[in-house]
Amino acid sequence: MARPELRNPANAEGDWFVDERCIDCGTCREIAPHLFRAAAGASVVARQPSEAAAEQTAAWLAAQACPTTSIGTISRRPRPGRLYPLEVRDGSGVYDLRYCSEDSFGASAWLVVRPEGNVLVDSPRWTEALAGPIEALGGIAHVALTHRDDVADAHRWAERFGARSWIHRDDRRAAPWTTDEIGDDEVELQPGVTAIPVPGHTKGSVVFLTEDGWLLTGDSLAWSHERDDLTAFRGACWYSWPEQARSLGRLAERHRFHSVLPGHGARHVGGDPDDLHARLVGLVDRMAAAA
């Protein structure tokens, strides 16, 4: 629960606030960039949401996602019901889970609902508030980890649902309990879901691509609101920036996608695959030039 006595003085005046326990993961700014902003190593309320339902819902979505529960109201407004899992696009079967974990610095996790068995990509924090709705959606058949940073409570989700669990062998020290190891080649977790190694952010970074064009990218690729373009995080590249450029180049050569769902950074949903391919090629060229 957000703590009014720790309210950051940089918040806009009004009921909603972010307290000083914020770790500056940027989750709220990605969910509601019109309501939150960065300020001296933290997030704060940029302007108070109006009483319109859409704005209040956006604020509550950010509050429910916050890994440190630092977002709230001075008036202690009653929380609405469970807002997550939230389908990314109606009928897509792809769900934003939020309930982000401080252990993964607020990274997003995603549930892909499929007839062959549902796939959890990276891990939200463990909470029964998600476990029940996920069970109602068919549970979890596979826990697919993009890299070592975003493991969080993945073992608890795998145990709860008896799921197979996947991580690249070069990042496996972060999750030695996983049942399946990804090597240097692409591999199908199940028909229609492919693990694609993209070393760079970490040596064992992987993205997961569904047959219908959803690319789940961990921290290897994201959308930038500021640039209105695809981006990668050079300041958070723990293995090799040149290798990340090469691996994203291979991704561009071999695959097309219409949506990018990252761990950190903004999502991009329902784009034109040719446009996103051109943007990825342009990003790779910029990365290589800066290597």
In angstroms, rounded to a whole number, what is the distance separating the alpha carbons of residues 84 and 86? 5
Residue 59 near residue 35 (C-beta atoms within 8 A): yes
| ∠ CA 182-187-188, rounded to 5° | 120
pLDDT reported for residue 79? 82
Helix (H, G, I), strand (E, B) or coil at 66: coil
In tens, the pLDDT along 152-181 reads 999 999 999 999 999 999 999 999 999 999
pLDDT reported for residue 262? 98
Q: Is the pTM of this model over 0.85?
A: yes
The class of domain 86-290 in CATH terms is alpha beta
Location of structure tokens 């450029």: 245
CA 85 to the chain's CA centroid:
13
- Dihedral sign computed on CA atoms, order 271, 114, 215, 223: positive
Helix (H, G, I), strand (E, B) or coil at 215: strand
State the pLDDT confidence band at 37, using cuts at 50, 70 and 90.
very high
Residue 42 near residue 26 (C-beta atoms within 8 A): no
Helix (H, G, I), strand (E, B) or coil at 214: strand
In this structure, what token pair is assigned to residue 13? 């005046």
Phi, psi of 231 (to 5 degrees): -150, 160
The ranges of the chain annotated as CATH 3.60.15.10 are: 86-290
CB neighbour class for 120 (10 Å; exposed up to 12, middle 13-18, buried from 19): buried
